[in-house]
C-alpha cells in the first residue's frame, strides 16, 4: 500500500455522543495502540473502580502528541487489511468548530456520530451542515450508545429517521447507517451478536468499501503547483497530483496564466525518470518549453483545463467571532493558491442548525450562521464547482490571520465567459468487453467534440459507440456531433442514467429515376 491509498476520515458529532470512545475503539480493534499504553489505561480504570474507558486511549494519544514525547501526528493512523486511514482531529465543542472545518476540508469521508438515546442535537445538525458544505459525499451515520437502550431496534430506527429527515434537504445520502456501541465494540470491527436485526457492515467494513476519491475514474488531471525549484538547468514544478494522471509527452496548460507546453519529465524522490504518475503522488515536472508560473497555478491537460475564475458563487459556514461582512475583503485559500476575495453579496443568510432562511441579501453573517454568497476575486484563480472536482471546489477563509470559515463553490464565473471544453474522442473512447464507450458522467460545463478519423472509422465498420451522459443537458452537444457527421443515434434512459448510442447510417439506395425498374 502506498501513501496515495490512505483515506482521510473526519469523525463529527455532538460533544457527548462518544467520538473519543469510537476513535479509541478503532485504534484498539485494529491493533494500532501500543500494548503498554493499553495496560496503563486498564490499570488506571481499575484504580478508579470503573470498566475500561476507550476514550482514555484517544486522550492519551492527544496528551503525548501535545507534549511531543512519543506520539506525533503521523501516529493518528490506523490500518485495516485493505489500507491505512488518517483520522482528522475534529473537536465537537463549539469553540473548536474552526479546527473542525479546517481539518474536514481535506477529508475523503466522514463518520457522523449520533447518540441513539439522545437523538439529533444542535451540534449534530451543524456538523452535518458543514459536511454538506465541504462536499463530503462518503458519509457513515453511526448510531452510538445502543447498549444503553438494550440494543433496541426501535430506538435505532427513530434516530435514523430523525437524522435522515435533516440530511435529505442538505443533499447528503449516507452510504451506511450503522447501529453501534463504541464502548462495547458492537459493529465496530465486527458484530458481537447484540444487534441480530441488523445485517449491514461494521464501521471498518463500511470504511473499506469507500473509494479513494483521488482515484475516481474519469477525473481530469489536476496538479496545483506547490513550489518551483531550479537546478541542473531546469525548472522543476513540484506538487501533488490531486486527480487524474499525466504521462511524459502529454500536452498541458496552466490556469489561470494559460501557458501551454508539453511534459518533458516526471520525477520522484530517487526515481528521476518515470513515464507516468497518478492521483495522490507527489512529483516534480519539467517541460519542453521554458515556462514561468508561480505557486497556485493549476496544471491540466490542454483542452480540459478548469475555468479561470474572477468571481465565485459559494455556500459558506462562518465561525469567527467577528461577523462576515458584505463589502469586506478576506483571504480565500483554495488548494495551493491564496487570493483576496471581496464579499459582494450575501444572497441568503440562514440558521445552520434549522436550515431556516433568516434574511435575503443580508449585510452580514454572524458566528455559526451559513449563507449563499458571491465573492469577487482580486486576481483570477483556477477553481471548479465542488460537484465537478471537490479538490478545487473547497476553500477556507481567513479573517486577518485567523481561519474564519469555509465553504464550497457552487458556480465559477469568468469575465471571459464560460469556456467551452474541446474533448478529443480518441482520448475519451474506451473499448469495454460489452462495446465502445465514451463516459461523460463526470464532466461538467459546456463541451465540444474533436472528431477523429479513428472514431469515424469505427462507425464506418459497423461498430456502435455508447455515450454515457451526466444528464439531459449534454444531449445538445452529442446531437450536434451526430448532425455534423451524418451519424445515426438512439437515446436510452434507465432510472437516472441517460445514454446515447451512435452508429453509421447505411447509405440510402438511390431513388430510381422515373421509368426505371425497382429491384
Condensed to tens digits (0 to 9), the pLDDT of residues 10-55 reads: 888 887 888 888 888 888 888 877 677 777 777 777 777 777 666 6
Question: Tell me, what's the pLDDT at 442?
Answer: 65
Residue with cell 471498518: 204
Of 26, 22, 5, nearest in space to 13 by CA? 22
Question: Tell me, what's the pLDDT at 100?
Answer: 58
- CB environment 266-284: b (16+ within 10 A), e (fewer): bbeeeeeeeeebbbbbebb
Residue ranges of the chain with pLDDT lower than 70? 1-4, 34, 52-76, 89-106, 213-218, 353-355, 416-421, 442-445, 495-496, 506-519
pTM for this entry: 0.61
Question: Tell me, what's the pLDDT at 517?
Answer: 42
Strand order in the sheet with 7-13: 77-79, 84-88, 7-13, 109-115, 138-144, 176-179
* Cβ(237)–Cβ(225) below 8 Å: yes
Q: At what angle do helices 19-29 and 54-67 cross, to 10 degrees?
A: 90
Amino acid at each position: 500500500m502506498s501513501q496515495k491509498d490512505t483515506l482521510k476520515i473526519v469523525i463529527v458529532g455532538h460533544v457527548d455522543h462518544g467520538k473519543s470512545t469510537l476513535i479509541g475503539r478503532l485504534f484498539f480493534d485494529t491493533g494500532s495502540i501500543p500494548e503498554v499504553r493499553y495496560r496503563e489505561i486498564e490499570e488506571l480504570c481499575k484504580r478508579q473502580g470503573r470498566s475500561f474507558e476507550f476514550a482514555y486511549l484517544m486522550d492519551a494519544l492527544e496528551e503525548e502528541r501535545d507534549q511531543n514525547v512519543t506520539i506525533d501526528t503521523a501516529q493518528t493512523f490506523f490500518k485495516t487489511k485493505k489500507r491505512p486511514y488518517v483520522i482528522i482531529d475534529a473537536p465537537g465543542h463549539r469553540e473548536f468548530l474552526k479546527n473542525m472545518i479546517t481539518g474536514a476540508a481535506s477529508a475523503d469521508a466522514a463518520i457522523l456520530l449520533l447518540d441513539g438515546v439522545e437523538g439529533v442535537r444542535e451540534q449534530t445538525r451543524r456538523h452535518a451542515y458543514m459536511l454538506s458544505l465541504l462536499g463530503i459525499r462518503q458519509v457513515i451515520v453511526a448510531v452510538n450508545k445502543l447498549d444503553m437502550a438494550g440494543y433496541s431496534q426501535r430506538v435505532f430506527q427513530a434516530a435514523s429517521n430523525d437524522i435522515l429527515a435533516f440530511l435529505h434537504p442538505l443533499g447528503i445520502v449516507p452510504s451506511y447507517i450503522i447501529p453501534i456501541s463504541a464502548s462495547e465494540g458492537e459493529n465496530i470491527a465486527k458484530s458481537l451478536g447484540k444487534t441480530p436485526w441488523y445485517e449491514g457492515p461494521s464501521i471498518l467494513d463500511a470504511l473499506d468499501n469507500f473509494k479513494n476519491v483521488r482515484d475516481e475514474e474519469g477525473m481530469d488531471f489536476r496538479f496545483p503547483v506547490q513550489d518551483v525549484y531550479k537546478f541542473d538547468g531546469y525548472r522543476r514544478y513540484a506538487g501533488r497530483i490531486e486527480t487524474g494522471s499525466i504521462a511524459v509527452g502529454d500536452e498541458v496548460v496552466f490556469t489561470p496564466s494559460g501557458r501551454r507546453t508539453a511534459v518533458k519529465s516526471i520525477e520522484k524522490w530517487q526515481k528521476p525518470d518515470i513515464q507516468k504518475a497518478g492521483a495522490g503522488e507527489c512529483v516534480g515536472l519539467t517541460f519542453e518549453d521554458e515556462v514561468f508560473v508561480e505557486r497556485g497555478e493549476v496544471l491540466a491537460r490542454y483542452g480540459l483545463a478548469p475555468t479561470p475564475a474572477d468571481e465565485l458563487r459559494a455556500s459558506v459556514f462562518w465561525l469567527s467571532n467577528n461577523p462576515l461582512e458584505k463589502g469586506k475583503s478576506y483571504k480565500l485559500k483554495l488548494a495551493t493558491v491564496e487570493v483576496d476575495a471581496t464579499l459582494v453579496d450575501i444572497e441568503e443568510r440562514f440558521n445552520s442548525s434549522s436550515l431556516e432562511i433568516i434574511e435575503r441579501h443580508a449585510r452580514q453573517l454572524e458566528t455559526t450562521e451559513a449563507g449563499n454568497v458571491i465573492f469577487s476575486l482580486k486576481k483570477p484563480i483556477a477553481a471548479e464547482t465542488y460537484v465537478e472536482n471537490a479538490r478545487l471546489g473547497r476553500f477556507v477563509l481567513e479573517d486577518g490571520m485567523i481561519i474564519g470559515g469555509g465553504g464550497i463553490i457552487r458556480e465559477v464565473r469568468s469575465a471571459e465567459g464560460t469556456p467551452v471544453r474541446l474533448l478529443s474522442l480518441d482520448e475519451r473512447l474506451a473499448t469495454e468487453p460489452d462495446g465502445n464507450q465514451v463516459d461523460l458522467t463526470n464532466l461538467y460545463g459546456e463541451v465540444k467534440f474533436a472528431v477523429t478519423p479513428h472514431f469515424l472509422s469505427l462507425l464506418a465498420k459497423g461498430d456502435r459507440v455508447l455515450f454515457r451522459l451526466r444528464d439531459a443537458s449534454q444531449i445538445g452537444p452529442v446531437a450536434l456531433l451526430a448532425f455534423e457527421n451524418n451519424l445515426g443515434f438512439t437515446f436510452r434512459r434507465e432510472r437516472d442514467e441517460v445514454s446515447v448510442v451512435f452508429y453509421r447510417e447505411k447509405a440510402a439506395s438511390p431513388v430510381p429515376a422515373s421509368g426505371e425498374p425497382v429491384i
